[in-house]
Amino acid sequence: MRLAARDLTLAGRLSGVSFDLAPGSITAICGPNGAGKSSLLEALAGLLQPDAGDITLGGQGLRDMPPRERAKCVGYLPQSHEIAWDVPVRSIVELGRMPHGDRLADPIDSALRALDIERLAHRRAQSLSGGETARVLLARVLAGEPQWILADEPLAALDIGHQIALLRHLRKAAARGAGVVLVLHDLAHAMNHADRAIVLDQGHIAADGACEDALDRDTIERVWKVPVRWIGEPGHRALVTG
């Protein structure tokens, strides 16, 4: 089930954005602050109505899909990691099953294991650290077993060990056929773990393609306006500035 945007426009945020994403792969959305990354992800999740253009999922217009059906297909993790209810962690993760109308234990337990939070299952949500909260909210998304996982800066609150573990889990999800779209500020993580990068600059697509092409030195220097160079081997690249 492909996820596509055609001439997507949001006043002051996005202009004429078009792409076609295939399931079974990881796409990184990158760009400077204010480039339109979060707005694009919200639109792909059906949470922002574009002023012009269309978003389709499996050829069907996203706006034409019943909300419950859309929620089964698309799991969205916002940039803000807040939990309003002081309930047990497992209850938060179970919310991922709401579109399906069940509380199946297997996907819930699998999500808890994947994010290394099984030991937190009975903790109250508002007693968690920022990194623990981020993992709980992503587990809620994974528990719904969506065909598309959309996550806005999912690594931001995580230590390096949990960052790598999460990226590996998302790679496994893609290998099973899910589509994964991540907003990432860390260009090295994008280069080393994504299959494709879409670079936004002032609401426009500045580059789109395989990461070694879309995140090459010339593009980064043009969009981020800093001198850089890549070092290391493919899959283990580091970005050096200056």
Q: What is the pLDDT of residues 136-146, one digit of tens each?
A: 999 999 999 99
- Whether residue 242 has pLDDT greater than 90: no
Cβ-based neighbour number of residue 160 at 10 Å: 8
Q: For 61-81, what is the mean pLDDT? A: 92
- Whether residue 80 has pLDDT greater than 90: no
CA–CA gap between residue 233 and residue 17 (Å, rounded): 32
Which residue's structure tokens are 């389709």? Answer: 56
Q: What is the pLDDT of residues 89-132, one digit of tens each?
A: 999 999 999 999 999 999 999 999 989 999 999 999 999 998 89
Confidence of residue 36 (pLDDT cuts 50, 70, 90): very high
pTM: 0.94
| Strand pairing class (148-152; 196-201) | unpaired
CA–CA gap between residue 101 and residue 155 (Å, rounded): 29
Please report which helix (H) or strand (E) contains residue 27, including its range: strand 26-30
Domains in the chain with CATH codes: 3-80+146-241 (3.40.50.300)
Q: What is the pLDDT of residues 187-220, one digit of tens each?
A: 999 999 999 999 999 999 999 999 999 999 999 9
CA–CA gap between residue 9 and residue 50 (Å, rounded): 6
- Whether residue 82 has pLDDT greater than 90: no
pLDDT value at residue 5: 97
pLDDT value at residue 44: 97
pLDDT value at residue 71: 94
Confidence of residue 221 (pLDDT cuts 50, 70, 90): very high
CA angle 187, 192, 195 (to 5 degrees): 95
